[in-house]
Chain A
Amino acid sequence: GAVVSQHPSWVICKSGTSVKIECRSLDFQATTMFWYRQFPKQSLMLMATSNEGSKATYEQGVEKDKFLINHASLTLSTLTVTSAHPEDSSFYICSASGGTAHEKLFFGSGTQLSVL
């Protein structure tokens, strides 16, 4: 099956720093990628949808200036958490779609972010 690679798996950073998370589709072209956030013992919440070559669409309540998303190529999307604070500590996970509407999505392995 299709593979989505997410890096890093975990990161610890100081408050105020920025953290970049990469999501790559290894064996298919991902026209659309999704970014989710999951707090402990809660379900995944969609943060934003990114389409290759265009601006991301953010869900209500997600700050676009804080969570910068870039989808510059068909195989790579990045999420940058800018000026991270302890409340941003969470599990971030991406998923990718090959473009056919409503087809199966493939998920990365997730990134655990801890902000001190």
Chain B
Amino acid sequence: KQEVTQIPAALSVPEGENLVLNCSFTDSAIYNLQWFRQDPGKGLTSLLLIQSSQREQTSGRLNASLDKSSGRSTLYIAASQPGDSATYLCAATGTASKLTFGTGTRLQVTL
């Protein structure tokens, strides 16, 4: 059974700082790895999707990497802004398109 863990559980950084969120998964037989953003009481916003054959994906200030063999993915956020404050979830896609979500990292970017 796939297990996805995210470290740290919570993070507070000053505005402008670069930061890295970590995601690890136990079963490397995944089809893709996705990163989502969730604001309190809201649904999910898809940030980046990395196919199993890819090593990284970039979108604006976000960069996600994937190392399938070691069961790790990272989300790099450059020049953080207060608007980046949210919970970030990673999810591994297994058979039948089922997603297994990580435990999430609650990010707070302070002024």
Contact = CB atoms under 8 A, between A and B. Distances in A.
Interface of A: 6, 32, 34, 36, 42-46, 49, 91, 93, 95, 97, 101-110, 112
Nearest to A4: B43
Nearest to B49: A104
Interface string B91-102: 101001111111
B96 to A, nearest CB: 7
Interface residues of B, number: 22
Given A101-B31, A104-B46, A106-B46, A32 B97 contact: yes
Contact of A109 (B42, B98, B101, B104): B42
Nearest to B103: A43
B38 to A, nearest CB: 9
